[in-house]
Amino acid sequence: MTTDGAPGAHAREKPRRPLRRKYFVALFAAVAVPLAINGASEAWFGYRGQRALLDQRLGVESRAAALRIGEFFEGVVAQLRWAVQQPWVEPDLDRRRLDALRILRLTPPIAEIHLVDDRGVERLSVARIAFDRQGVAVDRTGDPAVIGARTRPVWYGPVAFRQESEPHMTVALGGDRRGAGLVLAEVDLRLIFDLVAAIAVGGQGGAFVVDHDGSLIAHRDASLVLRGTDAAGKRAMAELREATTGGRTVVTRDPAGRRVVAAAAQIAGVEWTVFVAEPVGEAFAPIRDALWRTGLLVVAGAGFAALLAFWLARRMTGPIRALEQGADRIGAGQFDHRIAIRTGDELQRLAERFNAMAVDLAESRERSERIARLKRFLSPQVAELVERAGSADLLAGQRAEVVVLFADLRGFTAFSARAAPEVIMRVLAAYYEALGAIITRHEATLTHFAADGLMVLLNAPVPCPDEPAARAVRLARDMVGAVARLGAGWSAAGHGLGFGIGAAFGEATVGRIGYEGRHDYTAIGPVANLAARLCGAADDRQILVDAALARRLGPDVGAVSQGRRGLKGLAEPVEVYAVPSAS
C-alpha cells in the first residue's frame, strides 16, 4: 500500500461532465435566460412602440403634405373662380380678358387660361407663351375638360409631360351662376416643386408626388421629375401606393434610389398620392439605439451572470473537490489526512464522516499489521484469538506447561553439501509447505525454524482445548506421514533424506523475544532443550518423547519405553519413549 499521498490513477482523469460546469451552466442560465427573455421582450415591444410612433409621425407628415398640395390647387381654383363669376355678356369681352390677365399675373402656376361659354365655345384665351385669342370662336364641346367641368365642381385632367419632361395639367371648372360659362386653365406643375421641396421629414426625409399613373410629378430633386418616369418606375410607384394604403408605412426605395421608410396620403381633388419618405437609417435610429441599449444591457447582464455563476460554482464545488482529494489521500493510505471543510452544511458533515473513517481505517490497519506479525509464529486461528483477546497480554512472558516439539531431516547436511542450490531450495520448499499446513491444522505455534529444523510449541500462548500431549502426537504422526510421502520422491532422486521428531512436556518460560518488529515467540527452559535432544536422537521416521509426555498419553497411543538413554548435553540419562509413527 502506497503512503506517499499520490492520488490513484482513476482520480486523475477528469470527470466527463464535471459538477462545476453543471453548476455554472445552471446558475448562469438561471440569471441569463430571464435576462435574455426580458431583453427580447423589451426590444420587441420597444420596436413595436417605436414603429407605431414612426407610422404615426409619417402618417401625420403625409397628410400634412397632402393638405399643402391640396391647398396649392385650392389657391389655383379660387383664382380661377373669378373668371366665371359673371354670366357672359358680349361687350364684356375686354373686361373678362383683363380679369384673366390679372389671374395670370397673380397665379404663376397657371400658364394659360381659356374661357368657354355655356355652349362650349371658347371665347377668349390668354397665355404666357402662346398668342392670346379673342373673338375667335373655337368649338370645345368635345374637350374632356369641358365635359368634365360640367359634371363635377372641379375637373382635374391627366398629367401631361411637355417635351417628355415638364409636367402640366388642365384644371377646368364652371361658374356658379347660369351663363357664367367655364374656365380651363393649363397649370404648370413645376411650380409645386418648391412646395414639395420645402416639405422636410425629419432631418433628411422629404416628400414626392406621383399621379394616378405612377408618374413622378414632384420631388425635392426636380431633375428626377424632368427626366420622366419609365414603365418600371411607374409600376414600382403603383406597387408602393398599393402597399401604403390605409396609412401603413413600408420600407422601400424612393425615386432617387435611397432606402426609405415611406407613408402615403391621397391628395384631395386630384388623383395623386403624396409620399413622405425618410431614409431608413434616420427613421430607424431610435429603434436602433433602443436595440443597442437593450443588447448592451443583456450582454453586460450575461457577463455579470457568468462571473457570479463562476464564483458560486467554485464555492460550491470547492468543498467537493476537497472531499474528493481527501478521499484520494485516505484511499492512498494517508490515514492521518483530515479534510477541512467549514461550510456548516451536509458537506461538512460528510467531511467529518470521512475523517472518522480515516481514524477507523488507521486503527484497522494497525490491527491487521499486528495480526500479520502474529501470524508469523501463530497459526491464523491463534493469531486471531490473540488479537481478539487484546493482544500483548497473551504474548507476555509467563511460566506455562507446554509441549515442545522439534523436527528435522536426517542426512540433510550431507545432502546440502552435494546437491545443487535449486534442488535444496525445492526440497525445503516442499518440506515446509507440507509441515506448515499440518502445524496450522493442529493450531500449534511455530516458534522457530532454521534450515531443515523447526520448533513447534503446543499449549502456548493459547492453551489447547484438549490434551496438548495427545495433540502433539497427532501432529508428529501427521508430520512423519507427510515427510514419508515426500521421502518416496526424494529416495527416487537419491537424496537419502530421513525425518525425525523429538517432543517433551514440561514447564517453560514462554513469551515474545526480539527487537523492532522482529519478534519471535519462544519457549525457554529444560523442556525445550530436552525436546531438541530427543529429536537429535530420533531415527528416520521415529518420534521420541520424554517420560512426562508419555505419561500424559493414553495407552492406546502405544508409547514404548526405550529405556534410559544418555543424551548429548544432558548430565544424566533420561527415559525415552518412542511413539509409533502410525496409529
Partner 1 sequence: MRRRQALGLLGAAALAGAGGRGAEGATPPVVGLLSMISAAVNAPPIAAMRLGFADMGFVEGRTIAFVERYADGDPARLRAMADELARRAVDVIVAAGGTVAAAAARRATGRIPIVFTAVGSPVADGLVASMSRPGGNMTGVSILTTELDAKRLELLCEAAPAAKTVAAIGFSGRPNLAAQLASVDASAAQIGRTLLTETVAREDEVAGVFARAVGAGAGAILVLGDPVLFNWRATIIERAAHHRLPAMYQWREFADVGGLMSYGPSVRHAYRLAGRYAARILRGESPATLPVLQPAVFQLVVNLRTAAALGLTFPPSILARADEIIE
Q: How far is the CB of 191 from partner 1 (least distance, A)?
A: 6
3-state secondary structure 433-478: HHHHHHHHHCCCEEEEEECCEEEEEECCCCCCCCCHHHHHHHHHHH
Nearer CB in complex with partner 1: 161/432? 161
Find the binding residues for partner 1 in span 401-430 (CB under 8 A). none
Burial of 382 (0-12, 13-18, 19+ CB in 10 A): buried
Minimum separation from the CB atom of position 58 to partner 1 (A):
28
Residues of the chain by 3-state class (helix, strand, coil), percent to 5: 50, 25, 25
Tell me the CA distances in angstroms from 437 to 201, 432, 475, 490, one per residue in order: 112, 8, 11, 20
Residue 231 makes contact with partner 1 by CB under 8 A? no
By the rule CB under 8 A, 256 interacts with partner 1: no
In whole angstroms, the minimum distance from the beta carbon of 80 to partner 1 comes to 16
Whichever of 70 and 109 has its CB closer to partner 1, that residue is 109
Give CA–CA dist 405/546, Å, rounded. Answer: 11
Distance, in Å, from the CA atom of 71 to the CA atom of 199, rounded to the nearest integer, reads 14
Q: How far apart are alpha carbons 168 and 186 in whole angstroms?
A: 7
209/225 Cα distance (integer angstroms): 10
Residue 329 contacts residue 337 (beta carbons within 8 Å): yes
Closer to partner 1 by Cβ: residue 2 or 163: 163
Residue among 256 and 537 whose Cβ is closer to partner 1 = 256
Tell whether residue 165 is a contact of partner 1 (CB under 8 A). Answer: yes
Binding of partner 1 by 136 (CB under 8 A): no
- State the Cα angle at 512 between 506 and 514, rounded to 5°: 130
Q: Does 128 interact with partner 1 (rule: CB under 8 A)?
A: yes
127 binds partner 1 (CB under 8 A): yes
Cα–Cα distance, 311 to 37 (Å, whole number): 24
232 binds partner 1 (CB under 8 A): no
Out of 1, 16, 163, 572, which residue is the one contacting partner 1 (CB under 8 A)?
163
Return the residue of 7, 158, 228, 286 that touches partner 1, per CB under 8 A: 228
In angstroms, give the least distance from the CB of 252 to partner 1: 22
Instruction: Give the DSSP letter string of 486-518.
Output: HHHHHHHTT---EEEEEEEEEEEEEEEEEETTE
CA of residue 356 relative to chain centroid, distance: 35
| Contact string 177-216 vs partner 1 (x = CB under 8 A) | -----------x-xx-------------------------
Number of residues that bind partner 1 (CB under 8 A): 26
Q: DSSP assignment of 181-249, as one string?
A: -EEEEEEEGGGGHHHHHT--BTTTBEEEEE-TTS-EEEESSHHHHHT---HHHHHHHHHHHHHTGGG--
The helix (run of H) or strand (run of E) holding residue 529 is helix 526-537
Among 1, 9, 129, 488, binds partner 1 (CB under 8 A): 129
Minimum CB distance to partner 1 smaller for 226 or for 312: 226
Tell me how far, at minimum, the Cβ of 33 lies from partner 1, in Å.
51
The CB-of-109 to partner 1 minimum distance in angstroms stands at 8
- Which of 108, 281, 494, 573 binds partner 1 (CB under 8 A)? It is 108
The C-alpha cell that represents 165 in the structure block? 419632361
Cβ at position 296, least distance to partner 1 in Å: 35
Nearer to partner 1, 165 or 583 (CB): 165
ω into 461 cis (within 30 of 0):
yes
CA atoms of 26 and 22, how far apart (whole Å): 6
If the CB atoms of residues 118 and 132 are measured against partner 1, the closer one turns out to be 132
CB of 287 to partner 1, least distance (A): 31
Q: How far is the CB of 182 from partner 1 (least distance, A)?
A: 22
Is the Cβ of residue 190 or residue 541 nearer to partner 1 in the bound state?
A: 190
Q: Which of residues 85-104 bind partner 1 (CB under 8 A)?
A: 97-98, 101-102, 104
Whichever of 29 and 137 has its CB closer to partner 1, that residue is 137
Mask of contacts with partner 1, 431-470, x by CB under 8 A? ----------------------------------------
The reply to whether 130 sits near partner 1 by the rule CB under 8 A is yes
What is the arrangement of strands in the sheet containing 206-210, beginning at the earlier edge strand? Answer: 216-219, 206-210, 272-279, 259-267, 250-253
Q: Residue 227 or 519: which CB sits closer to partner 1?
A: 227
Q: By CB neighbour count within 10 A (0-12 exposed, 13-18 middle, 19+ buried), where does 519 fall?
A: middle
- Residue 348 per-residue DSSP state: H
d(CA 484, CA 478): 10
Q: Is 226 among the residues that bind partner 1 (CB under 8 A)?
A: yes
Compare residues 151 and 163 and give the one whose CB is closer to partner 1.
Answer: 163
Q: How far is the CB of 305 from partner 1 (least distance, A)?
A: 48
d(CA 439, CA 473): 12
Residues lying near partner 1 in the complex (CB under 8 A): 97-98, 101-102, 104-105, 108, 127-132, 161, 163-166, 188, 190-191, 222-223, 226-228
